[in-house]
Amino acid sequence: MIDLQRKIDIIAKLGGDTKLNRLSVKFYVFSILALIFFLRCASFISYYDPTTYKNLTELKPEVIFLYETFTTDSIDLEKIAQVRLRLAQVYEYEKGKGLCNKDTYEQIEIIQSMFERYVKDRLEKGKWTKEHFENVKTNMGEAFDIAIQTERLKNKNE
């Protein structure tokens, strides 16, 4: 009988205070909502992607070597189309990661715009001088470097 009374007292202490139960329920609901909010916000954090880094570091010299051919009389339209396609693929890959990757894909938009502007310049005005090529090379190199550095900053191992 004493054991039964003791169990009743314990149950009453645990479940008898409705104010305490309401606080516990509110705490658990708040905790769950906070966890959901945290997990949703965590999806906006962008992480280092070695594929992005590889794409950008490979594409930079490819574009610059193409531009170097703009100092000659002939122009390789097939190579321009190939680079244009690669830029579009890299852009779509980056944009597909969502808003958390906005800095990187916006920088690639800038690179695409510069690429198109320089191709148009070459097609309309003819072959480039060495000085003009060096200027374009510096500008495009810096645009790629910004995109590469943006991605590298996400690497927590550095």
CB atoms near residue 112 (< 10 Å): 16
Angle between helices 130-152 and 102-125 (to 10 degrees): 170
pTM greater than 0.85: no
The contacts of residue 130 (CB under 8 Å, 6+ apart) are 71
User: 49-102, pLDDT tens digit by residue?
Assistant: 889 999 999 999 999 999 999 999 999 999 999 999 999 999 999 999 888 888
Say whether pLDDT at 131 is over 90.
yes
How far apart, in whole angstroms, are the C-alpha atoms of residue 74 and residue 12? 92
* HEC string for 86-129: HHHHHHHHHHCCCHHHHHHHHHHHHHHHHHHHHHHHHHHHCCCC
Predicted pLDDT of residue 42: 47
